[in-house]
Amino acid sequence: MKPNSTTALFKKLGLSTTNPGVFQGEWVGEGKVLESFSPNNGKLLASVRAATPEQYETTVQSAKRAFEKWQTIPAPKRGEVVRQLGNALREAKSDLGQLVTLEAGKIVAEGQGEVQEMIDICDFAVGLSRQLYGLTIASERPQHRMMEQWHPLGVVGIVTAFNFPVAVWAWNSALAAVCGDSTVWKPSSQTPLTAIACIKIAERVCRANDVDPAIFSLVIGDGATVGERLINDPRIPLVSATGSTYMGRHVGEVVTKRLGRTLLELGGNNAIVVAPTADLDLATRAILFGAVGTAGQRCTTTRRVIAHESVRDELTQRLIKGYKQVQIGDPAESGTLMGPLINRKAVEEMQSALASARKEGAKILYGGEPLNGKDFPGGCYVRPCIVEAKHNLKIVHEETFAPILYLISYRTLDEAVAWHNEVPQGLSSAIFTNDLREAEQFLSARGSDCGIANVNIGTSGAEIGGAFGGEKETGGGRESGSDAWKNYMRRQTVTINYSKDLPLAQGIVFG
């Protein structure tokens, strides 16, 4: 993107060369300066003034005051505000998608697609605002009625990662909003500008509806100033955190120690099983998108392919041919299928993982090298990599946030499922097969141990209608669709006695 077009984009989104990084109903920010560089070319985009400890405190106070009012507004009316937020995002889709491409390095289609996720979850939340159902439960006592109802929870802390700089905030904030909660968002320091742009849109919608805009609060800052305070804060009953397993383990320990709730979306080491009857055209396309999309920086990225020995060689050749056709470069250019990694550290970590793979006996079949020169400025570009490996290599069990695909051969489906499940992560999984029995076995209790299991579709690109999340070191959280809304509310069991007696449960007689 040319400098003048960047300036025009910033103007439309309300950004400038220096931006306050705290929103608490008004924009402030007097902490240290945080600079945002584009991974596309290494150039400075803009700077942000992060939160001070005092500004973190006043932001939470503002969010709590906003919650006290917001929770009393009927849920369908809260849904109307979120509907308007979705429409505002529709109007800004092209611009906001361009900013995602500029700051996070996603190709145009993925940048636009991420904003569409925000729009979709707003639509979902609008319908949900009229469906916050509780149950009626049969009471064992005569002339008693028992039921459960759901109430707003409070201030929700949202911690997001660079790879989905806007969508994950929307997954949480749209649902939290219709549930009656306010939110405090700590975005990744790698992508602060997209966060500011989103909150500015939300602010306009709130002000147009005479709603306290602090229900969508923002605190940009480092872990010591913001992160640690947020997870230790008893005024925040729920912390939804997306990131590495290392980060999530710390968040979980701290929040649980104060008896708060967590919603953790952590690492993935996702595999596709390719069975003897698989449609290899379909499987190849799914693996390519799953492994190469977002330059291998999705939590749902395909990192392992467990292929039956009868199709392994042909699949390998198809994949190598496909990888050679992947156009790498500036993600803003049409035709580019893979942009850069987020920073040079990510490139170094990829090279370290490949060195470990070689040391353990794996064989690199294609790619893996850093790309430099005038077509690849900034030092963040790599060639996606295919590695022939054994299932039990230590590096294969680790998540490297880069486009490395481990290719493993199997003989029996039981063997493939066991290898699939032996890694510590449990997010997304898939099998390609035209055998009904194999598909059903993979989806059974003895099949995939992941939170997401697919048949003849890849591991990446989940729809918002289903609950998103995984098991084991993925954290156990569920966001987005289905009944994930229950995370953002408190359950209350109610019993009403409309008799003139006071019978006790379990037939107890007292006195």
Q: How open is the CA angle 376-287-161, to the nearest 5 degrees?
A: 60
Distances (CA, A) of 384 to 205, 321, 341, 393, 477: 41, 12, 11, 20, 30
Handedness of CA 353, 355, 359, 362 (dihedral sign): positive
Which amino acid type is present at position 450? C
- Beta-strand relationship, 363-366 and 385-388: antiparallel
Residue 121 in tokens: 């979850």
Catalytic residue, from 299, 380, 385, 450: name it: 299
Catalytic residue, from 203, 265, 473, 479: name it: 265
DSSP-assigned states of every residue in 125-171: HHHHTT-----EE--SSTTEEEEEEEEE--EEEEE--TTSTTHHHHH
Annotated catalytic residue 265 = yes
In 3D, which of 51, 28, 311 has the Cα closest to residue 186?
51
Judge contact between 405 and 433, C-beta under 8 A: no
HEC assignment per residue over 308-327:
ECCCHHHHHHHHHHHHHCCC
SS3 at position 493: strand
Compute the distance between CA of residue 382 and CA of residue 4 in angstroms, rounded to an integer: 28
Number of neighbours of residue 504 by Cβ within 10 angstroms: 9
147 phi/psi in degrees, rounded to 5: -155, 170
SS3 at position 498: coil
The residue to which tokens 């001070």 are assigned: 52
CA 117 to chain centre: 11
Judge contact between 15 and 27, C-beta under 8 A: no
Compute the distance between CA of residue 63 and CA of residue 157 in angstroms, rounded to an integer: 10
Compute the distance between CA of residue 80 and CA of residue 86 in angstroms, rounded to an integer: 10
Judge contact between 399 and 303, C-beta under 8 A: yes
Judge contact between 275 and 431, C-beta under 8 A: yes
How are strands ordered across the β-sheet holding 136-137? 136-137, 144-152, 489-497
Region at 368 (left for phi over 0; alpha for psi -120 to 50; beta for the rest)? left
Q: Show which residues are catalytic.
A: 265, 299
